[in-house]
Amino acid sequence: MTFGPIPRHLLPDTASVVNKRLQIGGLDVIELAESFGTPLFVYDEEHLRRRCREAVAAFGDGVAYATKAFLSQAMARLAWEEGMSLDVATGGELHVALEAGVPASRLILHGNNKSVIELEAALTAGVGRVVVDSFDELDRIEQVVAAGFTAPKVLVRVNPGVEAHTHEYLQTGVADSKFGFGVASGDAAAAMARARTSPAMNLVGVHAHIGSQVFTVDSFRKAIGALAPFIAEHDLDEISVGGGLGVAYVTGETAPTITEWADTIKSACRSHGIEAKIMAEPGRAIVASAAVTLYTVGTVKDIDSIRTYLAVDGGMSDNPRPVLYDSGYEAFLPRAVNAERSRIVRVVGKHCEAGDVIVSEAAVPGDIAVGDILCTPVTGAYGHSMGSNYNMVLRPPVVFVDKGRARLVVRRETYDDLTRRDV
Catalytic residues: 352
Subset of residues 3 to 32 that bind ligand LLP, contact rule: CB under 6 A:
none
What's the Cα-to-Cα distance from 369 to each of 30, 98, 110, 359, rounded to whole Å? 15, 45, 46, 17
Asked if 66 interacts with ligand LLP (CB under 6 A), we say yes
Asked if 182 interacts with ligand LLP (CB under 6 A), we say no
C-alpha span between 262 and 266 (Å, rounded):
6
Asked if 205 interacts with ligand LLP (CB under 6 A), we say no
Stated as kind and residue range, the H or E segment containing 37 is: none
**Pick from 8, 35, 38: which is nearest to 22 by CA?**
8
Which of these ranges, 115-123, 240-248, 352-360, 364-372, lies near ligand LLP under the rule CB under 6 A? 240-248
Per-residue string for binding with ligand LLP, 279-318, x by CB under 6 A? --xxxxx---------------------------------
- Exactly one of 87, 137, 238, 318 binds ligand LLP (CB under 6 A); which one? 87
* Beta strand segments in 174-265, E: 181-182, 202-207, 238-240
C-alpha span between 361 and 339 (Å, rounded):
17
Asked if 173 interacts with ligand LLP (CB under 6 A), we say no
C-alpha span between 416 and 414 (Å, rounded):
5
CB of 90 to ligand LLP, least distance (A): 11
Asked if 110 interacts with ligand LLP (CB under 6 A), we say yes
Per-residue string for binding with ligand LLP, 362-401, x by CB under 6 A? --------------------x---x---------------
Asked if 243 interacts with ligand LLP (CB under 6 A), we say yes
Between 97 and 297, CB nearer to ligand LLP = 97
C-alpha span between 108 and 172 (Å, rounded):
18
Between 66 and 393, CB nearer to ligand LLP = 66
Which of these ranges, 76-84, 194-202, 277-285, 388-396, lies near ligand LLP under the rule CB under 6 A? 277-285
Asked if 245 interacts with ligand LLP (CB under 6 A), we say yes
CB of 333 to ligand LLP, least distance (A): 25
CB of 286 to ligand LLP, least distance (A): 8
Contacts of 45 (CB under 8 A, 6+ apart): 25, 78, 400, 401, 402, 407
Q: Sign of torsion, CA 32 37 38 40? A: negative
CB of 235 to ligand LLP, least distance (A): 24
Between 23 and 166, CB nearer to ligand LLP = 166
Asked whether the beta carbons of 358 and 349 are under 8 A apart, the reply is yes
Between 365 and 380, CB nearer to ligand LLP = 380
Coil, strand, or helix at residue 58? helix
**Pick from 309, 398, 296: which is nearest to 359 by CA?**
309
C-alpha span between 169 and 166 (Å, rounded):
8
C-alpha span between 257 and 13 (Å, rounded):
14
Asked if 334 interacts with ligand LLP (CB under 6 A), we say no
- Exactly one of 129, 321, 341, 395 binds ligand LLP (CB under 6 A); which one? 321
Contacts of 271 (CB under 8 A, 6+ apart): none
Please classify residue 421 by burial: count the beta carbons closer than 10 Å to its beta carbon, then call 0-12 exposed, 13-18 middle and 19+ buried. exposed
- Exactly one of 205, 242, 334, 349 binds ligand LLP (CB under 6 A); which one? 242
Between 20 and 178, CB nearer to ligand LLP = 178
Which of these ranges, 15-23, 55-63, 209-217, 299-307, lies near ligand LLP under the rule CB under 6 A? 209-217
Residues lying near ligand LLP in the complex (CB under 6 A) are found at 66, 68-69, 87, 110, 170, 209, 212-213, 242-245, 281-285, 321, 325, 382, 386
